[in-house]
């Protein structure tokens, strides 16, 4: 439901540190017990027959722990002592080194886990700050827009048939709508980046939704022919409002960038357990749009319709974010003189 | 059954200029409006007075819209509540609907749109949603999504029907292209070509095909209005 999946997986991995660390500690304890107990491996072995170790400070009843490397005197004494079991002195130290290593690993595990918790907490805080920031920006930007819109709406209502006021007001309202749309898209993208884009997943009839867009397509293409093939009854799990935007963006994008006179096609079919929505339009085969950059923010390809295109170039990048967050995939490819955008969304 | 004329609504909106215009706009549409500027006052009014509907801003001083909604609903009050939010946050919308909000509008909204939504939620709450809208010789069947003029049926598509119903609900009042686009398609749809004009042309042609008149008047450079002066 939330786009926190990536962090979630890492959390799972990190949680494995706890049992792993406990296991290491257990092994460490078991080995320590085995090697260091009275009459254990060390005691019954060479240590019992160790020659004069009283040169070193007697700490233990049985002559104290094995000398450390910097205790040169003891070291040399030990090197010279006989070894009836044929075990070299280095072998005696092996269990201790092993234990120390395991202990170190255990500490490392605990340390890493604590560090990760810290990082995680910081990441959560950063995400919360970012979400808060985008919400505040949205509020700050939208409030003046709301005031502006209500003032103009009021003016139109009281224009008493003054065509000039009505027309100017209408133009302002149209620009306000563009700004609203832009603010909303930027915020959705910001939320997606911050990992705070939450989808309200529900079962919805994608076929019905695409049919509505097919109707829109027939109204906005002008003279260009339209071809539609929409399979009935395809139900997906998605956020209705966002997936509607995706379909609308794909459709209006195809109309905007269609090569004049070429067919625009809109298809929805079920392929196994995904619903595949494909929208295609004609392109200039000599200078086709860059399919690698088409989902980039603010990317606006060369147009077959001249340069009077509006829009910030955010529609497709938002479409990509939404489709991916819904567990689907989106791609673009050039097929001859056509560009095909395909969105695959898992069916419910 | 309520009509807009006797509907008493509470508006909680802390932004002064916006509140002023919303109040004025709704009053012109025939609502009786109480406007408060903070959440505590809104809660107080809602618990002590009878309203037909309330519009609560989610972000405001004092109690926020969501907590008012929660408290009002937990006290068993089922007054229709619309949430207004300036955030794009879907969470709030979802949470609001879960808490029992009847609808939501995202800021900036048109007062006309708010009036239409308010009427719709109250009608729904009354359980007596009219299934037929009649203006002159035109009838709109809201259940079967069909229009008829002089007894002849006109088949309208979803978009055409939405557009026609919106115009027909406020005869004589101008709806700008932007208002129509937002109401029917949502403000994120930016087709550039004027989809509203195309849809209106289609509606007119369909009515003309059965020998009728769609009764939609163009307001040049602005939008459209349904002919007639007052709501019937």
* Contact call for residues A281 and A267 (beta carbons, < 8 A): no
Which residue of A147, A319, A322 to mutate against B (max B Cβ within 10 Å)? A147
pLDDT band (50, 70, 90) for residue A10: low
Under 8 Å CB-to-CB from B77, ≥6 apart: which residues? Answer: B46, B47
Residue A113 pLDDT more than 90?
no
Query: How far apart, in whole angstroms, are the C-alpha atoms of residue A219 and residue B181?
Result: 13
pLDDT of residue A248: 92
The CA-CA-CA angle for residues A282, A288, A293, to 5°, reads 115
* Contact call for residues A339 and A316 (beta carbons, < 8 A): no
How far away is chain A from the Cα of B122, in angstroms, using its nearest Cα? 23
pLDDT of residue B96: 74
* Contact call for residues B40 and B63 (beta carbons, < 8 A): yes
pLDDT of residue A264: 95
pLDDT band (50, 70, 90) for residue A87: very low
Report the mean per-residue pLDDT for chain A: 78
Residue A5 pLDDT more than 50?
no
Give the residue with greater pLDDT, A7 vs B145.
B145
Q: Which of A5-19, B60-74, B164-178 has the lowest mean pLDDT?
A: A5-19
For residue range B198-210, list pLDDT tens digits in order: 999 999 999 999 9
Give the residue with greater pLDDT, B80 vs A97.
B80
pLDDT band (50, 70, 90) for residue A319: very high
How many CB atoms are located within 10 Å of the residue B95 CB?
A: 17
Residue A77 pLDDT more than 50?
no
How far away is chain B from the Cα of A221, in angstroms, using its nearest Cα? 8
Give the residue with greater pLDDT, B135 vs A44.
B135
* Contact call for residues A236 and A272 (beta carbons, < 8 A): no
Mean pLDDT of B108-124: 86
pLDDT band (50, 70, 90) for residue A331: very high
Nearest Cα residue to B108 out of A149, A184, A134: A149
Residue A303 pLDDT more than 80?
no
Q: Which of A3-17, A145-159, B138-152, B157-171 has the lowest mean pLDDT?
A: A3-17
SS3 A313: coil
The percent of residues in chain B predicted with pLDDT above 90, rounded, is 27
* Contact call for residues B92 and B64 (beta carbons, < 8 A): no
pLDDT of residue B87: 58
Q: Which of A141-150, A186-195, A283-292, A298-307 has the lowest mean pLDDT?
A: A298-307
Q: Which residue has the tokens 């029917």?
A: B184
Contact B111 A241 (CB under 8 A): no
Instruction: Output DSSP code: residue A66.
Output: P
Residue B1 pLDDT more than 60?
no
Please name the residues between 216 and 235 in chain A that touch chain B, using a CB distance below 8 Å.
Answer: 216, 219-220, 222
Q: Please report the ipTM that was assigned to this predicted complex.
A: 0.76
Helices (H), A70-205: 72-80, 89-157, 163-194
Question: Pairing between strand B146-149 and B138-141?
Answer: antiparallel
DSSP A1-40: --TTHHHHHHHHHHHTHHHHHHHHHHHHHHHHHHHHSTTS
Under 8 Å CB-to-CB from B44, ≥6 apart: which residues? Answer: none
Contact B86 A139 (CB under 8 A): yes
For residue range A257-276, list pLDDT tens digits in order: 899 899 999 999 999 999 99
DSSP B37-86: SSHHHHHHHHHHS--SEEEEESS-SSS-HHHHHHHHHHTT----EEEEES
Burial of B171 (0-12, 13-18, 19+ CB in 10 A): middle
Q: Which of A173, A174, A215 sits opposite B159 (nearest CB)?
A: A215
For residue A252, the chain B residues in CB contact (below 8 A) are 189-192
pLDDT band (50, 70, 90) for residue A307: very low
Query: How far apart, in whole angstroms, are the C-alpha atoms of residue B231 and residue B228?
Result: 8
SS3 A300: coil
For residue B17, the chain A residues in CB contact (below 8 A) are 147, 150-151
Contact A163 B91 (CB under 8 A): no
């Amino acid at each position: 439901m939330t786009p926190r999946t990536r962090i979630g997986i890492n959390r799972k991995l990190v949680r494995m540190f706890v049992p792993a660390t406990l296991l290491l500690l257990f092994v460490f304890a078991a080995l320590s017990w085995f090697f260091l107990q009275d009459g254990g491996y060390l005691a019954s072995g060479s240590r019992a027959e160790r020659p004069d170790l009283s040169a070193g400070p007697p700490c233990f009843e049985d002559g104290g722990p094995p000398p450390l490397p910097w205790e040169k005197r003891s070291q040399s004494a030990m090197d010279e002592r006989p070894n009836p079991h044929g075990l070299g002195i280095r072998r005696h130290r092996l269990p201790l080194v092993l234990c120390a290593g395991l202990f170190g690993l255990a500490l490392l595990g605990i340390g890493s886990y604590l560090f990760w918790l810290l990082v995680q907490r910081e990441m959560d805080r950063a995400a919360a700050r970012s979400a808060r920031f985008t919400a505040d920006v949205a509020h700050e930007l939208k409030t003046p827009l709301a005031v502006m819109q209500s003032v103009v709406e009021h003016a139109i209502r009281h224009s008493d048939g003054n065509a000039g006021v009505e027309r100017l007001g209408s133009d302002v309202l149209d620009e306000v709508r563009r700004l609203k749309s832009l603010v909303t898209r930027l915020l959705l993208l910001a939320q997606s980046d911050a990992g705070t884009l939450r989808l309200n997943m529900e079962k919805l009839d994608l076929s019905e939704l695409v049919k509505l867009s097919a109707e829109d397509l027939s109204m906005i293409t002008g003279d260009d022919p339209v071809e539609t093939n929409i399979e009935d009854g395809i139900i997906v799990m998605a956020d209705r409002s966002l997936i509607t935007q995706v379909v609308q963006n794909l459709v209006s994008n195809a109309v905007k960038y269609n090569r004049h006179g070429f067919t625009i096609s809109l298809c929805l079919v079920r392929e196994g357990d995904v619903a595949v929505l494909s929208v295609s339009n004609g392109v200039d085969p000599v200078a086709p749009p860059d399919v690698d950059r088409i989902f980039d923010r603010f990317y606006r390809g060369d147009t077959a319709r001249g340069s009077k295109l509006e829009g910030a170039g955010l529609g497709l990048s938002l479409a990509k974010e939404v489709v991916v967050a819904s567990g689907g995939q989106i791609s673009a490819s050039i097929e001859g003189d056509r560009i095909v955008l395909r969105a695959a969304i898992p069916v419910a | 059954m309520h009509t807009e004329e006797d509907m008493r609504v509470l508006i909680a909106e802390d932004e002064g200029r916006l509140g002023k215009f919303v109040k004025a706009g709704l009053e012109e549409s025939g609502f009786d409006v109480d406007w408060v500027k903070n959440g505590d006052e809104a809660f107080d009014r809602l618990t002590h007075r009878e309203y037909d509907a309330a519009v609560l801003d989610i972000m405001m001083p004092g109690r926020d819209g969501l907590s008012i909604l929660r408290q009002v609903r937990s006290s068993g009050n089922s007054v229709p509540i619309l949430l207004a939010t300036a955030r794009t946050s879907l969470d709030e919308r979802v949470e609001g609907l879960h808490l029992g909000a009847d609808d939501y509008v995202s800021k900036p909204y048109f007062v006309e749109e708010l009036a239409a939504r308010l009427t719709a939620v109250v009608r729904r709450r009354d359980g007596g949603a009219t299934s037929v809208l009649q203006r002159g010789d035109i009838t709109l069947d809201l259940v079967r999504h069909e229009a008829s003029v002089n007894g002849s049926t006109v088949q309208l598509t979803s978009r055409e029907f939405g557009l026609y119903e919106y115009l027909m609900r406020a005869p004589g009042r101008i709806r700008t292209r932007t208002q129509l686009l937002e109401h029917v398609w949502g403000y994120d749809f930016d087709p550039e070509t004027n989809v509203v004009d195309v849809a209106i042309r289609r509606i007119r042609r369909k009515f003309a095909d059965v020998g009728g008149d769609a009764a939609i008047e163009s307001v040049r450079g602005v939008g459209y209005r349904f002919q007639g002066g007052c709501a019937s």
